[in-house]
Amino acid sequence: MAALNTDVQDRIVWRTRSGNEVDYCASVVWDDLRQGQAEVPWANVVWFPQSVPHHSFLMWLSVQKKLKTQDIMSRWSSSGKTNFNLMCCSLCTTGLDSHEHLFFECPYATQVWNGIKDKADIGAIPNIWERIYDHLLQFAKFGRAKHIIGKILVGAAAYFVWEERNQRLFSTKKRSADQLVEVILTTVRMKLHTMKFKRTSQANNVLQEWRLPRGLLMDEDDGG
Ligand SMILES: [Zn+2]
């Protein structure tokens, strides 16, 4: 009959699906229980350490085209008689309220996009979501400041265009395209204020362009 060994410290173990016993840890258990999937190509476009969480959530919906635009909602109407405000874009009141129109074919959204795309270093990319998305995919895993800022800016632009579109549908408040550009740039500038930059000439240019203090450059001791 086995006796308890009081000399050995108790420990919590987890028996994995393959039968191995490992020290208990929430991340190990999660990895063991979940059904693993191949990483989706847009993972690093949507989720990255410097991303703004509520912008990432909107990007997550956007890259899958899951935003509830009126063209999509009309397909849910079984009778087909629901009046979705005549399917009209609330930003320009002329185009169809659809994903493609909002990002960024709509004249209002185009004006917003034109106000920020140079700062995202994607001035030459057409105002077409697929082209913008394809471009972001190319450098999704890159760590240079301009690539990270590009992703933050596109996420902020999509978020605030969508927010303005909703606001106009459900209230009488309106912001001009120039005002929205300012909101986007101010939001991104505040985000950049929370980041640290490696000491490179490129980082110096970024700080100047965004009028950020040089204190955001990492000291040599920080590994920069
Ligand atoms: Zn429009």
Per-residue confidence of the chain (224 residues) as pLDDT tens digits?
567 788 888 889 999 988 999 999 999 899 889 887 888 989 999 999 999 999 999 999 999 988 888 877 777 766 656 665 567 899 999 988 899 999 989 999 999 999 998 888 888 888 889 999 999 999 888 888 889 999 999 999 999 999 999 999 889 999 999 999 999 999 999 999 999 998 888 888 989 999 999 899 987 655 44
Residue 97 C-alpha to ligand 1 middle, in angstroms?
Answer: 7
> In whole angstroms, what is the distance from residue 61 CA to residue 57 CA?
7
pTM (predicted TM-score): 0.81
- Single-letter residue type at 22: V
Tell me the β-bridge partners of 85.
Answer: none
Number of Cβ within 10 Å of residue 52's Cβ equals 18
Residue 214 CA neighbour count, 13 Å, CB half: 5
Residue 96 C-alpha to ligand 1 middle, in angstroms?
Answer: 7
Tell me what pLDDT residue 14 has: 93
> In whole angstroms, what is the distance from residue 107 CA to residue 113 CA?
10
Residue 144 C-alpha to ligand 1 middle, in angstroms?
Answer: 34
Domain boundaries in the chain?
Answer: 43-222
Residue 64 C-alpha to ligand 1 middle, in angstroms?
Answer: 20
Find the DSSP H helices in 117-170: 129-138, 145-170
Tell me what pLDDT residue 53 has: 95
C-alpha 77: how far from its chain's center? 30
Burial of 180 from C-beta contacts in 10 A (0-12 / 13-18 / 19+)? buried
> In whole angstroms, what is the distance from residue 106 CA to residue 55 CA?
20
> In whole angstroms, what is the distance from residue 160 CA to residue 157 CA?
5
Residue 188 C-alpha to ligand 1 middle, in angstroms?
Answer: 24
